[in-house]
């Protein structure tokens, strides 16, 4: 049997350089009405073996960002600029053919809908063995043994029997486990999980998230977990990046973000997390208003039409990233949460009857409850 992919801790010297360095990454789509600025100047680094949560509402650019980094299915109307250095190698500008040697082996993706990556006409086992044979060049027999091991590692019961079934004969949770097995098959160093659980019920969601977390730890993988739910990433990530309208508006080590969030949009996401311990407050407050038009975004801060702290300056001057007190914490806002200036701004807006101040006036969920809600194992 071919050796199962090992943790780099056991097999190689781990470099101290970040695995991923993203600088001023932009992906704009050319459409009839203009340019959709889906990802608009994103920069971050990600260290080896760490997990980054990327959070934001629908349409904030999470999937386009993940796909732009991996150079997966970047559509013909897309223009990507900036830099993505993976293990020191520049990826922006690489063709699909050049990326083939990195996909699966270096970086892999688990999608929201398992049927995106599974072929409904091919039995589960064959989908895994073909992948293994193509990338690792193992024999048919070795591929079968490896595939069964993989199915076991993602806790599929009776893997020998499941080997011969079609995807539609499995439950949604089991199909997602197969997708995770397929993504892990060639031992990638970096795994993207793009909303891997939104199509599943809550109990199965927790099982799949726990499974991803365990695999990440066991394999010392670097992971990017994409979600619209801040609760999902609360207890499962080292860092969290909050995206709004194609930008990262706040990024921080997870514990600092919950202890000292500075961006009003992060605060709004935090308030919209369901609080399971108090049934009267299952949804504390929805975020007022709608995400902006990415072709003609509002001038100044893109969150200004929805922000309870908005002032005139916000409507004319786009805030730039600035460091917060804790190392690794940065945010882009003129009136950050928790300052006397933002309190005065909120009070003035409340007096003036700005609708978004009413949505923001709810009670804040305690961080411990949030971690409990996320069902995290650590």
Ligand X SMILES: Nc1ncnc2c1ncn2[C@@H]1O[C@H](COP(=O)(O)OP(=O)(O)OP(=O)(O)O)[C@@H](O)[C@H]1O
Task: Kindly list the residues in this chain that would bind ligand X in the complex (CB under 6 A).
Answer: 29, 31, 36, 38, 56, 58-64, 75, 77, 228, 294
Give the Cβ contact number of residue 333 at 10 Å. 24
Report the C-alpha gap between 267 and 362 in whole angstroms: 11
Q: Which does 310 bind (CB under 5 to 8 A by kind): Mg ion, ligand SF4, ligand X, none?
A: ligand SF4
Task: Mark the segment that binds ligand SF4 (CB under 6 A) among 35-43, 60-68, 160-168, 329-337.
Answer: 329-337
Instruction: Tell me the residue ranges of DSSP E strands in the chain.
Output: 20-31, 34-46, 51-55, 78-86, 89-90, 107-110, 190-194, 222-227, 239-244, 247-253, 322-323, 330-331
Q: Are β-strands 330-331 and 322-323 bridged in parallel, bridged antiparallel, or unpaired?
A: antiparallel
Round to whole Å and give the CA distance between 367 and 372. 9
- Residue 216 binds what, of ligand SF4, ligand X, Mg ion, none (CB under 5 to 8 Å, by partner type)? none
Q: How many residues bind ligand SF4 (CB under 6 A)?
A: 12
Three-state secondary structure along 135-194?
Answer: HHCCCHHHHHHHHHHHHHHCCCCCHHHHCCCCHHHCCHHHHHHHHHHHHHCCCCCEEEEE
- Residue 162 or 247 with smaller CB distance to ligand X: 247
Note whether 188 binds ligand SF4 by CB under 6 A: no
Q: Decide: is 244 part of the binding site for ligand SF4 (CB under 6 A).
A: no
Separation between Cα atoms, residue 61 and residue 187, nearest integer Å: 27
Which of 234, 233, 226 has the alpha carbon at shortest distance from 366? 234
Among 188, 264, 291, 375, binds ligand SF4 (CB under 6 A): 264
Pairwise CA distance, residues 185 & 192, whole Å: 14
CA distances, 27 to each of 10, 36, 145, 320 (Å): 37, 9, 41, 19
Q: CB 64 → ligand X: shortest distance, Å?
A: 4
Residue 64 partner contact from Mg ion, ligand SF4, ligand X, none using kind-dependent CB cut-offs of 5 to 8 Å: ligand X
Shortest distance, position 350 Cβ to ligand SF4, whole Å: 14
Contact between 303 and ligand SF4 by CB under 6 A: the answer reads: yes
- Our CB check for ligand SF4 shows the closer of 29 and 309 to be 309
Find the binder of ligand SF4 among 29, 111, 192, 335 (CB under 6 A): 335
By C-beta, is 196 or 308 nearer to ligand SF4? 308
**Quick one: what does residue 18 bind among ligand X, Mg ion, ligand SF4, none, with the CB cut-off 5 to 8 Å set by partner type?**
none
d(CA 302, CA 305): 7
Residues in 56-115 that interact with Mg ion by CB under 5 A: 62-63
Does residue 319 belong to the site contacting ligand SF4 (CB under 6 A)?
yes
* Window 26 to 65, contacts with Mg ion (CB under 5 A): 62-63
Residues forming contacts to ligand SF4 in the complex (CB under 6 A) are: 264, 301, 303-304, 307, 309-310, 314, 319, 333-335
């Amino acid at each position: 049997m071919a050796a199962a992919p090992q943790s780099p801790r056991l097999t190689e010297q781990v470099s101290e350089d970040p695995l991923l360095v993203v600088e001023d990454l932009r992906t704009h789509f050319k459409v009839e009405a203009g340019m959709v600025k889906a990802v608009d100047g994103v920069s971050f680094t990600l260290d080896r073996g760490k997990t980054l949560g990327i959070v934001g509402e629908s349409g904030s650019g999470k999937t386009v960002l993940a796909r732009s980094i991996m150079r997966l299915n970047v559509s013909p109307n897309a223009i990507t600029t900036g830099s993505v250095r993976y293990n020191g190698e520049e990826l922006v500008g690489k063709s699909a053919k050049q990326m083939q040697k990195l996909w699966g082996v270096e970086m892999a993706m688990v999608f929201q809908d398992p049927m995106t990556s599974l072929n409904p006409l091919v039995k589960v086992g064959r989908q895994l063995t073909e992948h293994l044979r193509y990338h690792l060049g193992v024999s048919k027999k070795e591929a079968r043994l490896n595939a069964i091991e993989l199915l076991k590692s993602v806790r599929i019961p009776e893997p020998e029997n499941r080997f011969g079934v079609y995807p539609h004969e499995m439950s949604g949770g089991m199909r997602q486990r197969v997708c995770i097995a397929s993504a892990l098959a060639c031992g990638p160093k970096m795994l993207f999980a793009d909303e891997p659980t939104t199509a599943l019920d809550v109990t199965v969601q927790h099982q799949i998230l726990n499974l991803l977390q365990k695999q990440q730890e066991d394999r010392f993988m670097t992971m990017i977990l994409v979600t619209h739910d801040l609760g999902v990433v609360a207890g499962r990530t080292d860092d969290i990046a909050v995206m709004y309208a194609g930008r990262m508006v706040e990024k921080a080590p997870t514990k600092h973000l919950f202890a000292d969030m500075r961006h009003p949009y992060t605060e709004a996401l935090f308030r919209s997390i369901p609080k399971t311990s108090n049934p009267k407050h299952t949804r504390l407050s929805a975020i007022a208003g709608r995400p902006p038009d990415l072709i003609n975004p509002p001038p100044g801060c893109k969150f200004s039409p929805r922000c309870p702290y908005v002032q005139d300056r916000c409507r004319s001057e786009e805030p730039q990233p600035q460091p917060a007190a804790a190392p690794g914490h940065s945010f882009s806002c003129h009136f950050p949460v928790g300052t006397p200036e933002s309190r005065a701004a909120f009070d003035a807006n409340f007096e003036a009857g700005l609708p978004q101040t009413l949505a923001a006036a709810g009670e804040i969920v305690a961080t411990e409850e949030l971690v409990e809600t996320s069902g995290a194992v650590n």
